């Protein structure tokens, strides 16, 4: 896989990632919370969680089989959970941030537990042409999932440094392509460009920001998809929209936000603005509905982004996990989360 670079507008100061003493940093300074604030955040996450951060009823999941995927038309998009999305392009399959583990955690006996099972198992998944990774956090990069995918995946596309982690885990180095911001690669005629995001990285106590984070542009002939990864709102969305937009579909982070970390995760209002900046046509909110990673109600991201999209006449789709969305025949989907909450209220009423 050859790489190529794009010339970003110098005024954005987003030409490439930048490092200081071996650590990557965001285009705009992101102030880190002090020790006291960090302890307070973790304390609240552990001991002051509202009850409604987890669903009271069962999350609806449309199960998928390999045969169903093979019969699906090209430009089909399947949300499998959190930020894991399966794309069918040119009769091949492309997978973003695959996490099939029971918990988004360094251990499987503690940490945020899934609300639902994936619509398809790792064994049932067909051969994957490429896995596209946004960064190395546990809810986006899972060790056991990567190991199980390693033999059935032809390529792994990552931001700088994340590929080194995969190679240490045993992924064949020849399968790994690591890109800086504004660098791209081509596989089977489809272009993948690593674009900036405003976030951070790290899987332990001492490796913070030692690997890069990124959003991704996917170009398949006349179809364009944007995958946000994790990010706060910043000027980069406008630069990406001007360079590569308009996008037929934006897969946009909408969840795990909080007033305590406003610069690294977007509020729904910012998600909508980022979609507009990108010149997006259809918005599919992700990073929600699978793990409890903040203090808001589990369904709040859906409620807020849907209301905002309606108010601003933005086309939005909210498919169930496993439900197909096709770029050629886009549909809005249903507000399925309302039924889940209805189940919970009925259970309480029944005592």
pLDDT beyond 80 at 5: no
Q: Which residue has the higher pLDDT, 11 or 214?
A: 214
Please tell me the least confidently modeled range out of 225-229, 260-264, 308-312, 343-347.
Answer: 343-347
pLDDT at 188: 97
pLDDT at 347: 40
DSSP-based three-state secondary structure for 155: strand
Residue 88 counted as domain residue: yes
Residue 28 counted as domain residue: no
Residue 113 counted as domain residue: yes
Domain count, the chain: 1
Give me the domain span that covers residue 76.
Answer: 62-349
Q: What is the pLDDT of residues 17-59, one digit of tens each?
A: 677 778 999 987 777 666 566 667 666 776 778 889 999 999 9
Work out the number of other CB atoms within 10 angstroms of the CB of residue 76: 20
pLDDT at 348: 35
Counted residue by residue, the chain has a size of 351
pLDDT at 275: 98
Residue 84 counted as domain residue: yes
**Is cis: bond before 246, omega within 30 of 0?**
yes
Q: What is the mean pLDDT of residues 144-170?
A: 98
Q: How confident is the model at residue 351 (pLDDT cuts 50, 70, 90)?
A: very low
- How many angstroms separate the CA atoms of 52 and 117, rounded? 19
Burial group, residue 299, by CB count within 10 angstroms (0-12, 13-18, 19+): buried
Q: How confident is the model at residue 196 (pLDDT cuts 50, 70, 90)?
A: very high
pLDDT at 342: 76
- Structural contact between residues 270 and 233, judged by C-beta atoms closer than 8 angstroms: yes
Mean pLDDT of the chain: 92
Please tell me the least confidently modeled range out of 47-61, 131-145, 173-187, 320-334.
Answer: 47-61
DSSP-based three-state secondary structure for 175: helix
Q: Which helix (H) or strand (E) holds 3?
A: strand 3-5
pLDDT at 22: 83
Please tell me the least confidently modeled range out of 45-54, 243-252, 279-288.
Answer: 45-54
pLDDT at 30: 76
The string of DSSP letters for 270-336 reads: HHHHHHHHTTEEEEEEES-SS---SSS-TTHHHHHHHHHHHHTT-EE-BPPBT-EEETTS---B--H
Prediction pTM value: 0.94
Q: Which residue has the higher pLDDT, 312 or 2?
A: 312
Q: How confident is the model at residue 259 (pLDDT cuts 50, 70, 90)?
A: very high
Residue 260 counted as domain residue: yes
- Structural contact between residues 187 and 167, judged by C-beta atoms closer than 8 angstroms: no
Q: What is the pLDDT of residues 214-223, one digit of tens each?
A: 999 999 999 9
pLDDT beyond 90 at 96: yes
Q: Which residue has the higher pLDDT, 309 or 28?
A: 309
How far is the CA of 182 from the CAs of 87, 157, 160, 171, 323, in angstroms? 22, 14, 12, 25, 32
Q: Supply the CATH number for residue 259's domain.
A: 3.60.15.10
pLDDT at 253: 98
pLDDT at 21: 77
Residue 309 counted as domain residue: yes
- Structural contact between residues 264 and 228, judged by C-beta atoms closer than 8 angstroms: no
Residue 49 counted as domain residue: no
Residue 1 counted as domain residue: no
């Amino acid at each position: 896989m050859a790489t190529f670079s794009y010339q970003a507008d110098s005024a954005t100061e987003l030409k490439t990632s930048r490092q200081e003493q071996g650590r990557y940093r965001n285009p705009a300074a992101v102030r880190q919370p002090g020790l006291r604030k960090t302890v307070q955040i973790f304390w609240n996450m552990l001991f002051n969680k509202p009850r409604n951060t987890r669903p009271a009823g069962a999350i609806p999941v449309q199960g998928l089989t390999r045969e169903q995927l093979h019969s699906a038309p090209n430009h089909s998009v399947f949300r499998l959970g959190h930020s894991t999305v399966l794309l069918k392009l040119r009769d091949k399959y492309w997978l973003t941030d695959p996490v099939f583990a029971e918990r988004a955690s360094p251990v499987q006996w503690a940490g945020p537990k899934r609300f639902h099972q994936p619509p398809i198992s790792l064994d049932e998944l067909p051969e994957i042409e490429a896995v596209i990774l946004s960064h190395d956090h546990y809810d986006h990069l899972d060790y056991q999932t990567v190991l199980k995918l390693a033999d059935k995946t032809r390529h792994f596309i990552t931001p700088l440094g994340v590929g080194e982690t995969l190679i240490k885990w045993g992924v064949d180095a020849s399968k790994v392509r690591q890109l800086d911001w504004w660098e791209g690669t081509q596989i089977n005629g489809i272009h993948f460009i690593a674009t900036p995001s405003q976030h951070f990285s790290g899987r332990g106590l001492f490796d913070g920001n030692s690997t890069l984070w990124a959003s991704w542009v996917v170009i398949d002939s006349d179809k364009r998809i944007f995958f946000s990864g994790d990010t706060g709102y910043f000027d980069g969305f406008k630069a990406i929209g001007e360079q590569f937009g308009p996008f037929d579909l934006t897969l946009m982070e909408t969840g795990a936000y909080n007033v305590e970390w406003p610069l690294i995760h977007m509020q729904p209002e910012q998600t909508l603005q980022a979609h507009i900046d990108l010149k997006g046509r259809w918005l599919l909110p992700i990073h929600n509905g699978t793990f409890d990673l903040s203090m808001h109600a589990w369904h709040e991201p859906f409620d807020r982004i849907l209301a905002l999209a309606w108010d601003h006449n933005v086309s939005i789709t909210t498919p169930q996990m496993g439900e197909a969305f096709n770029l050629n025949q886009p549909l809005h989907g249903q507000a399925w989360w309302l039924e889940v909450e209805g189940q919970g209220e009925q259970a309480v009423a029944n005592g």
